[in-house]
Amino acid sequence: MEKIKRIIENFFGKSNIRDYEIISTIISAILILVAFYFFFLSSPFNFPVGTIVRIDEGASLNKISQILSERNVIKSPFLFRVFVRAVGGDKEAKFGDYFFSKRRNVFTVASRIINGEYGLTPISITIPEGATTFEMAEIFSKKISIFNSEKFLKLAVPVEGYLFPDTYFFLPNITPEQIIDAMKNNFIKKVGDIYSKIERSDKSLEEIIIMASILEEEARIFETKKIISGILWQRIKIGMPLQVDAVFPYIIGKNTYELTKEDLSIDSPYNTYKYKGLPFGPISNPGISSIEAAISPVKTNYLFYLSDRDGNMHYAETFEKHKINKLKYIY
């Protein structure tokens, strides 16, 4: 109190201030209110910014305040209940998923829970062409705070190849099931537009998607994909192993330049060096250009191809010429 008194005297002058006790009381009250707000009403230091807090249907106000306190959304469950009753009156708290993009004080939290302001705004998520389900899980985990990668992979791996890569707008509380349904439905729509081409080919949809997943990894330009498609379908036709390196990132996480002779003999149904024909299933989720390239291959006399370190393609009709290309462009 004496310190406050001296501050007042220094600021206003002793002759102009008579009632130090009144001003000191006002300042003390303000300081107490500020401290009260900071310790009880402001957002917690570890407020869960960017996450979703779920309020289950039928939860009592006591239970809701406990959940919010445990999730570090509020500091005082008691004061939260007071404000809910004061703001909402006869209204009941709305259950559901609440997304907090910023730190909020107890007044704002109470108001949102009473009015059902969930704060759920769709998030733009782009899945690149050729992404595997494992790569998708990483992308979704970075964008969706409550994303369950383990559950997603359990459901997604069996439909590898049929989850269409695209830009999606998902709510922050979307479930793995809903994501997979959206991507599968998009696949059906996009492939439906060209399904007549698949029917006119001599290949099944499964064969087309497996081949497209390989082409997605083997080339980037549509015309190049069609040439490689012709080469690979021809290899299958004459009983020659596909021998594509694109399967190894999927099997063991190694690219062409990391492979050893031992890697090429690994026993996997996806190993196109060990087993003839198409691999067991898709090795990625191809985009529409790769699917179309698998449907419409370009026929050439080539049986071999390789990509140099700059991404340029080099073709050969015989294995001897292919070996020369390796010496020129790889080693």
Q: What is the pLDDT of residues 13-54, one digit of tens each?
A: 554 555 556 666 666 666 555 554 454 556 677 787 877 888
pLDDT of residue 90: 58
- 3-class DSSP state of 149: helix
Answer yes or no: are the C-beta atoms of 295 and 196 closer than 8 Å.
no
Mark the ranges of the chain whose per-residue pLDDT is less than 50.
15, 36-37, 39
Class of domain 123-192: alpha beta
CATH assignment of 51-115, among 3.40.50.2300, 1.10.10.10, 3.30.70.890, 3.30.1490.480: 3.30.1490.480
pLDDT of residue 41: 54
Residue 146 and residue 315: Cα distance in Å, rounded?
Answer: 47
pLDDT of residue 16: 52
Q: Which residue has the tokens 């300081």?
A: 31
pLDDT in tens, 190-206: 999 898 999 899 899 99
Same fold, 51-115 and 123-192: yes
Chain centroid to CA 227: 33
pLDDT of residue 50: 76
Residue type, 258: E
Task: List beta partners, residue 125.
Answer: 168
Give 35-83 as a DSSP string.
Answer: HHIIIIISPPTT--TTEEEEE-TT--HHHHHHHHHHTTS-S-HHHHHHH
pLDDT of residue 36: 46
Domain ranges across the chain: 2-41, 51-115, 123-192, 195-300
Instruction: Name all contacts of 19-22 with Cβ < 8 Å and 24+ positions apart.
Output: none
Residue 68 and residue 50: Cα distance in Å, rounded?
Answer: 15
